[in-house]
Amino acid sequence: MEQGEEDEVVRGQRWYEGLLGHPIVSRHQFYPRRDDEPLPPHFALAVPTTYSLAGAPVPHDSKEKGEEPTLPSLSCYYYRSPNKHPNKKTVVHFHGNGELVSSYVRAPAVEGIPSLYGCLREMGVDVLFVEYRGYGSSGGEVHMVAMLDDVSAVLNTLAVPAGDVVVFGRSMGSVFTIEATARFPDLCGIIVESGLSDLYPFMVRHMTPADLLGLEEEKHDVVRASLRTACDRVLALDRKWQPYRGNVLLLHCEDDQALPPSEANTNYERAWACWREEGQPVATAPPDDALQQVAERHGTHEPEARVSDEVTEAVVVADDAADGGQRRVMKRKVLFCAGGHQYIWPMNWPRYRDEVARFLGHCGHQVADDFDATATAPPRKPLDSHARATHKKNGCLLA
């Protein structure tokens, strides 16, 4: 690529936008499906997107000439817990490829094991399940660059201070979770389940020579460099970890055939990058009884077989707490000995649940004494202009 061509706009797109959003690439990258059954109105949250192609009208669903272009809306599910504790946290969840929000919110308990959604409700957190464009009932079509930008749209619409938000991504959702750390480095914590450290191998492993040839033959002036270069330009997950100084929980299976545990190992090392560059001491955390306390609170105990789960944890003491004091930042990696890419939750029950509960507690989440998980929280009122300005001034997640 010659000097000056990096951000050249051709047919409304920069070269990397066109390549990463190309139908052939998207076909091997995403597995969207629709959901005709609408979400319950009380929990539905429509997130307006903001992404538009440079130099071109905003993307829209209409094919008719003369119609005004409209930005697609994301059909998300927002559960507001009746927990009234001021330290309540909000979990923003990005699901895996081929999954839907409804896969989580409509999932029943199986053989006594509740769904992830059911457990999060019992923990007293607010939960926002994000539906990608082109998936479920969301508008638009899949497009990697647009979907990365949708991360900002989601968190800005949520209007919750970054310090009260934990972003949770599974499999492909880890890409958007790591994107959130780059865009909102003050997030309280992130949870990555069966995550990726590099999207490029995942994108090309099922592409045939004919697919790659098709990209070359189209010659629509946006294929200016290799897919590898495009990924490095837009999806540099290693670079996106760097500004994040918050808490991290990595959950992976040792026998994950889709994404090997080396992905989690790489992400764990990257999670400490900014601290090591600044010369901060990073120490392996001594064993504590926090996990056992969580298990006892839920009436469960760790089976003896679980000692084979591989756990790596380290902490650093930072002098940048909001109140001017110190905070204890935790990075924890758990490689489960049971299950695989698709069955990490049920095969590692209740250890998985206890890990999430412990992590949320470390992030400062608390439950009020009168909390009743079966109660219904009142609908949240929209913020008026004065409230929005106040939130923005205080560093909240508002555009």
For residue 194, the domain's CATH number is 3.40.50.1820
Whole domain around residue 48: which residue ranges? Answer: 1-52+75-278+337-362
Answer whether residue 310 is part of any domain: no
pLDDT given at position 203? 83
Largest Cα–Cα distance in the chain? 67
Answer whether residue 212 is part of any domain: yes
Q: How far apart are CA 11 and CA 24, in angstroms?
A: 18
Answer whether residue 60 is part of any domain: no
pLDDT given at position 397? 42
Q: How far apart are CA 303 and CA 307, in angstroms?
A: 8
Tens digits of residue pLDDT in 286-309: 545 555 555 555 544 443 334 468
Q: How far apart are CA 257 and CA 283, in angstroms?
A: 31
Answer whether residue 191 is part of any domain: yes
pLDDT given at position 224? 41
Answer whether residue 187 is part of any domain: yes
In the chain, the number of structural domains is 1
pLDDT given at position 139? 93
Which parts of the chain register pLDDT below 70? Answer: 1-13, 52-70, 216-225, 277-308, 376-399
pLDDT given at position 76? 97
Answer whether residue 98 is part of any domain: yes
Answer whether residue 319 is part of any domain: no
Answer whether residue 68 is part of any domain: no
pLDDT given at position 198? 94
pLDDT given at position 63? 46
Tell me if 255 sits within 8 A of 285, measured CB to CB. Answer: no
3-state DSSP percent of the chain in helix, strand and coil, to 5: 35, 20, 50
Query: CA–CA distance from 327 to each of 243, 247, 281, 323, 365 (Å)?
Result: 17, 10, 14, 10, 15
pLDDT given at position 285? 56
Tens digits of residue pLDDT in 13-51: 677 888 888 888 898 899 999 998 888 888 999 999 987
How are strands ordered across the β-sheet holding 327-336? Answer: 44-48, 73-79, 126-130, 90-94, 165-170, 189-193, 247-253, 327-336, 310-318, 283-284
